[in-house]
Structure 1
Amino acid sequence: MNLNSFDEWSPLKEVVVGSAENYTSHERELSFDLFFHDNITQDNVGRSEWYYPRLTSTAGRSGADRQPIKQRYVDELNEDLELLAKTLEGLGVTVHRPMPLDAATAQVRTPAWEASVVPPLNVRDNTLILGDEIIETPPMIRSRYFETQFLTPVFARYFEAGARWTVMPRPLMTDASFDLSYARTATAGGPTEPIENPRPSPYDVGLEMMFDGAQCLRLGRDLVVNISTANHALACDWLERHLAGRFRIHRVHRLSDSHIDSMVLALRPGTLLVRSTAVLDKLPEALRSWDAIVPPAPRANNFPQYDDDDLILTSPFIDLNVLSVSPDTVLVNEACPELAHELERHGFTAVPVRHRHRRLFGGGFHCFTLDTVREGGAEDYLA
């Protein structure tokens, strides 16, 4: 089918489900800690402070900054991804998968830095689907710089069928590329090393655009975009110029550190799923009149117990990260029955699906999927 996806709820026809094959470690360096700093500072035993790890030079790299992930977690994550794919297929959705990460591919290298590689798991992040266009977004984490390459066979098929395929400008991602203001003002702890003097590089060009598709809430011809840094704002400037005349962009500011989809999701026209009513105050005025479903607070027993050396990357609200299959059917983590019951109380069919280690791998069902074909078009839901 032709690429066609304008919103978050229209009947889902085709989707990409991510892969965790050969996920071995997290690399603790500047871009990683900036991206996850809200949760690293608050949700990890013995890590109440935010620290500034220096960019390791290519020469003499020891790998000591890589934090291993226990293989049992990866195995169980892969089991849950397969179950997610089968559940979607059982609901009549065509499922595509990215190329798996080969175990021999350990690093990526640019003129400015090198980093370990992670598999294409959270496929929502580095791609934005708007109608008939694939937009590869400029990454915020160095280890994910070439992640969309794993989706090339999928994107190529849509391109051959008539889709537009665009790549936003790629950042050099030196230390000087990152806007550190959010981390300076919003961190729960305090830096143990000054962050005012990032390491210089011969490739410094100043602040650059960096942006994830998961910062966007798609509403037909309208796009709500979360902006927390100058990097995000530059990318949003690019989007506004590129999409002029086709989509309207509404900026919201610091709704979260980056992604919007564990704060607010649109489940159907007129209905939002929100973390709290305070979220509504930051949304465009036209959305504040929509019905808002606020799920019960997460319970500790909704999550596995982890060891002190396991790095937690998401907030306890990660299960709000649901995937709509239609305006009345939503995939919900089976470990969160309170959310399922709340959705059912509002007339939705909640389909429970197992997802155990979402806090260790930075994503829920919405993050792990990229909807490429939905019914519906560029409707005006905010008029």
Structure 2
Amino acid sequence: MVSTYNEWDPLEEVIVGSAKNYVSHDRELSFDVFFHENLFRSDWAYPRLQQATGKPIDQRAWQIASRYTEELAEDVEQLAQTISSFGVRVHRPIELPADPEPIAGFGWQAPPIPALNLRDNTLIVGSEIIETPPAIRSRYLETRLLAKLYAEFFEEGATWTTMPRPVLTDMSFDLSYARDTETSLGGPTEVIEEPHAGPYDVGVEMILDGAQALRLGRDIIVNVANENHRKGYEWLRRHLEPKHRVHMVYRMSDNHIDSMILALRPGVFLARHDGIRDLMPERFKNWKYIVPPPPDAASFPCYDDGDLVLTSPYIDLNVLSLSPDHVLVNQDCIGLIRTLEGEGFGVTPVQHRHRRLFGGGFHCFTLDTVRRGGLVDYTE
């Protein structure tokens, strides 16, 4: 039965995503808003991306080179095999078919992508599966590729909840974070185009990814960077309290928290930089913060102007804990591996070449459903 309260208890069951038929990115407003901060080349934002909202789907597609998609699929399958080799039961989503029909909402259409970054659209707290309100239109039906598994878990006793689904018109999005970074990044950042009003608008909506939440037993920390997130945080707080304490941190990142900070065991965080301590709730500032050396540029493939880079070089902090003493880490991230080994962790290196093109690491690609252990207050 589904049961997982934190990021480190011994892993017994997990869902590993699918990369099958991930062939392009849909360049439209919701995609641009979500990835705005990370549309960079080197240290300089680049204005070469042509805005495409309102154009037909086939004209909006940013094609991904086939060798990258093939190598991604190889790496994901290797990840699943590696996790299974530790005796963990591995579940898989339904594979996205080739050339799927577009999905649609009121006033928009989008091509679906596979259920790869599973952590984004689902948050599991204890025995409850919570489907979160998606931020990107092409991912609106992504959890339907997981619905068969969720139905099985429900029959086994899990609670299955869906947060309110957004309409995702242009006017649904709070653009304040993107607007702020347009002036603060210091480079020729591409401006987010103006949203268009329509008959289905309901105002700024609840939008929140599961990867914005850090589960620490009774405490759950949620990163909030805009009004969409604040509404989602407020729903989670009302829904989960008083059994859980739900804390808000403000603008630790543009959205996801799991390449900024992850908990490796009680009292120990893996963090991008020590300044993250100052953003955390008071009760967690006295935990140990392990800060690895900055990413080595040589550990990433070289891409050209036909390749859309979606994440920062810190994506490799996105590790997966198999237990409080053992983690899976990208084999190319030598500095991180040595740091964790120096702190007494067992490390299994796993290949993941194109993490910057597909927006996720090992924590993103997996959704733990069973970890041995119960609900604990780690601040007592």
Which of 253, 269, 276 is residue 256 of structure 1 equivalent to? Answer: 253
Aligned match of 2:108 = 113
Aligned match of 1:104 = 99
Summarize deviations over 1:92-147 as a string: whole Å, max 9, x none. 11000000001131411122210111111100000000000000000000000000
Pair 1:203–1:329, CA change in 2 (3 A): same
Pair 1:242–1:82, CA change in 2 (3 A): same
Superposition pairs of residues 266-345 of structure 1, within 5 angstroms: 266-345=263-342
Aligned match of 2:33 = 34
Summarize deviations over 1:137-170 as a string: whole Å, max 9, x none. 0000000000000001111111000000001111
Aligned match of 2:22 = 23
The SS at the match of 1:143 is helix
Aligned match of 1:209 = 206
1:8 is the counterpart of 2:7: yes
Which of 87, 94, 119 is residue 89 of structure 2 equivalent to? Answer: 94
Contact 2:214 2:221 in 1 (8 A): yes
Contact 1:323 1:365 in 2 (8 A): yes
Pair 1:131–1:345, CA change in 2 (3 A): same
Aligned match of 1:131 = 126
Contact 2:214 2:262 in 1 (8 A): yes
Identity, % of aligned positions? 54
Contact 1:55 1:199 in 2 (8 A): no
Letter of the structure 1 residue corresponding to residue 18 of structure 2: S
The CA RMSD measured in Å over matched residues stands at 1.7
Between the aligned partners of 2:265 and 2:202, the Cα distance in structure 1 is 42
Contact 2:271 2:291 in 1 (8 A): yes
Which of 34, 58, 67 is residue 63 of structure 1 equivalent to? Answer: 58
1:232 is the counterpart of 2:238: no
Shift of 1:63: 1.8
Letter of the structure 1 residue corresponding to residue 6 of structure 2: D
Aligned match of 1:142 = 137
Contact 1:44 1:311 in 2 (8 A): no
Shift of 1:47: 5.3
Between the aligned partners of 2:357 and 2:192, the Cα distance in structure 1 is 28
Letter of the structure 2 residue corresponding to residue 276 of structure 1: H
Contact 1:55 1:175 in 2 (8 A): no
Between the aligned partners of 1:191 and 1:83, the Cα distance in structure 2 is 36
The SS at the match of 1:363 is coil
Contact 2:53 2:60 in 1 (8 A): no
The SS at the match of 1:63 is helix
Contact 1:84 1:353 in 2 (8 A): yes
Between the aligned partners of 1:240 and 1:87, the Cα distance in structure 2 is 36
Shift of 1:288: 1.1
Aligned match of 2:375 = 378
Contact 1:51 1:191 in 2 (8 A): no
Which of 180, 196, 215 is residue 199 of structure 1 equivalent to? Answer: 196
Pair 1:44–1:200, CA change in 2 (3 A): farther
Please report the TM-score for the alignment, with normalisation by the length of structure 2. Answer: 0.96
Please report the TM-score for the alignment, with normalisation by the length of structure 1. Answer: 0.95
Shift of 1:83: 0.6
Shift of 1:246: 1.6
Consecutive unaligned residues in structure 2, runs of 5 or more: none
Letter of the structure 1 residue corresponding to residue 379 of structure 2: L
